[in-house]
Amino acid sequence: MNQAEFFIEAPSTGTVHLRRAVLIYDGQQGSALATVHDIEEVDGEAVIGAGQAMTPRAAMDLAKALLKRAAHGGFLPETVLYMDGDVIVWWVPPARRHIAFRVDAEQAAAFGGQERGESVPHPGLVFAASSRVWRVWAVKGARRPTPVTPLFQVPYFNVDVRGNICQGNAPVPEGTTVEKIAAWNDAFLRSYFTHPNGLGKLVRYRGGAYAFWRDMLNGRFQRFPERVLVDVKTTLGGLLGLKEGA
């Protein structure tokens, strides 16, 4: 009998047990067939038993479970709102944080300098990241968002009207596991904000986004003025394709 030897690194919080095996057969023109086999113990060794065909539904359930296992482990913090494969959506509560700007010379006089940075109040934020997207929205209040929570355009530079973040030269983390959330937050909030992206309105404020952030940096507001946020006409559930109340 030919034997294969391999090792599995088990999670540190528990143990794993070999219960079943999946055999995959490649067919012509890219087709495939999979069979599921129970594992039997014979003379102290694991032996693959008789199998049965894996249904497409079972294959999809297995793939989804494996992706979730790869994305996170252990307990999920309250800030995590949604996970599906490598997609992770999380909430950053409102707080006072440092923010830095680097604007062009044309805007420097009105802005109060070409480079400025201060600790200012920020709204609650909802981030979404995957291997393909990096997006952010604002939310009102300090409660954890739910599927019916309205989303708003973030008031920051470097973000377009659909919430897409312009990465520029800022390095971003590899992977979208729970453990990387702080690194994703830092990649955005600790970068330089340089210019508005796109034609959409960032804030409802006299003088526009530059005037708003100039006044924020000058200490005009002790709390973030949520009245300036622009409604994007969708909810968190709508964004995720969930039915209301899900």
Query: 31 and 151: one domain?
Result: no
Residues 6+ apart with CB under 8 A from 158: 165, 166, 168, 191, 193, 194, 195, 197
Residues 6+ apart with CB under 8 A from 187: 170, 171, 172, 173
In angstroms, the Cα distances linking 139 to 90, 108, 200, 220 are 12, 30, 18, 21
Query: 46 and 98: one domain?
Result: no
What was the pLDDT predicted at 245? Answer: 40
Give Cα 53 to chain centroid, integer Å. 36
The predicted model scores a pTM of: 0.70
Query: 140 and 183: one domain?
Result: yes
Domain residues for 30? 20-54
Asked if residue 184 is part of any domain, the answer here is yes
3-state SS, residue 178: helix
What was the pLDDT predicted at 152? Answer: 97
Domain count, the chain: 2
Query: 206 and 92: one domain?
Result: yes
Query: 146 and 34: one domain?
Result: no
What was the pLDDT predicted at 175? Answer: 85
Asked if residue 63 is part of any domain, the answer here is no
What was the pLDDT predicted at 224? Answer: 98
Asked if residue 210 is part of any domain, the answer here is yes
Burial, 177: exposed, middle or buried (Cβ in 10 Å; 0-12, 13-18, 19+)? middle
Query: 104 and 191: one domain?
Result: yes
Low-confidence stretches of the chain (pLDDT beneath 50)? 1, 6, 8-13, 70-72, 243-246
